[in-house]
């Protein structure tokens, strides 16, 4: 006797259910793998963020202060480095503030040929210093142009030698401070001594969009990154 229409329909429904169950069972391992991968990627992201934050803290150094022949404003980051130098001068750590200046770029030379007035960074820094109480006679722009931190280290060391001095304070930015210290140690050595200080009022942001680009430890074309 043939099966009723209802029995046939129920059999088809059960078969479809078993088929869907087999498909779901086959899909479970892929779902698990995807969830594991998502968790791993999330952990990696957290670790990278923590690592970048710690790198930012590691880059920032400040040496103990002691009386010096001069406070040197390394070129760049106007007005913050000059502001820090003025503060140190007012505290009596040195009788003079020296400014380094970059070599003239092709862009500046082109602007000058066109009759466009170019205001150099050391001009701004001098004005900042004077506005913050450093007398004009205590401000000195070093003559030779520099291209990078190595040039600045050599120039400052030579000027110290000419003046018979053995101590100087170098003012740079937070995330450049450790590199400036390493550069001075490699190029000049232990004498004359340099105390590295950073511009305290310069904005500093760790991580993406902040002050920790991957190029910090590469050779720079301009000393504004000192």
- Decide if pLDDT at 57 tops 80: no
Q: How many Å apart are CA 150 and CA 180, to the nearest integer?
A: 9
- Decide if pLDDT at 36 tops 70: no
- pLDDT of 94 reads 98
- Decide if pLDDT at 63 tops 50: yes
Residue 168 pairs in a beta bridge with 70, 194
Over the range 193-205, which residues count as b (16 or more CB within 10 Å of their CB) and which as e?
bbbbbbbeebebe
- pLDDT of 203 reads 87
Q: How many CB atoms lie within 10 A of CB 64?
A: 6
Q: How many Å apart are CA 17 and CA 42, to the nearest integer?
A: 36
| Residues 106, 111, 115, 116, CA torsion sign | negative
Class of CATH domain 70-225: alpha beta
| Cα distances (angstroms) measured from residue 49 to each of 114, 177, 206, 216 | 47, 22, 10, 18
- pLDDT of 156 reads 98
- Decide if pLDDT at 152 tops 90: yes
The mean per-residue pLDDT over the stretch 171-192 comes to 95
| Cα distances (angstroms) measured from residue 226 to each of 22, 148, 154, 186 | 65, 7, 13, 15
| Residues 108, 109, 111, 116, CA torsion sign | positive
Residue 195 pairs in a beta bridge with 169
- pLDDT of 206 reads 46
| Whole-number average pLDDT of the chain | 80
- pLDDT of 59 reads 81
pTM above 0.95, yes or no: no
Digit-coded pLDDT (tens) for 81-140: 999 999 999 999 999 999 999 999 999 999 999 999 999 999 999 999 999 999 999 999
The more confident residue out of 165 and 5 is: 165
- Decide if pLDDT at 35 tops 70: no
Alpha helix (H) ranges present in 132-213? 149-162, 177-187
């Amino acid at each position: 006797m043939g099966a009723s229409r209802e029995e046939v329909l129920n059999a088809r429904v059960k078969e479809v259910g078993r088929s869907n169950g087999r498909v779901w069972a086959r899909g479970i391992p892929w779902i698990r793998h995807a969830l594991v991968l998502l968790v791993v990627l999330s952990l990696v992201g957290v670790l990278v963020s923590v690592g970048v934050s710690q790198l930012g803290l590691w880059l920032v150094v400040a040496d103990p202060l002691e009386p010096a022949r001069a406070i040197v404003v390394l070129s760049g980051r106007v007005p913050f480095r000059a502001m820090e130098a003025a503060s140190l001068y007012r505290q009596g750590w040195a009788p003079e503030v020296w400014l380094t200046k970059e070599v003239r770029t092709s862009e500046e030379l082109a602007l000058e040929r066109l009759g466009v007035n170019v205001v150099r960074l050391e001009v701004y820094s001098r004005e900042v210093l004077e506005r913050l109480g450093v007398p004009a006679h205590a401000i000195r722009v070093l003559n030779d142009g520099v291209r990078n931190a190595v040039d600045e280290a050599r120039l400052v060391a030579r000027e110290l030698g000419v003046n018979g001095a053995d101590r100087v304070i170098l003012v740079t930015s937070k995330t450049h401070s450790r590199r400036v210290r390493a550069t001075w140690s490699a190029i000049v050595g232990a004498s004359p001594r340099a105390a590295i200080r950073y511009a305290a009022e310069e904005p500093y942001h760790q991580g993406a969009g902040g002050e920790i680009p991957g190029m910090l430890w590469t050779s720079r074309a301009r000393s504004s990154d000192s």
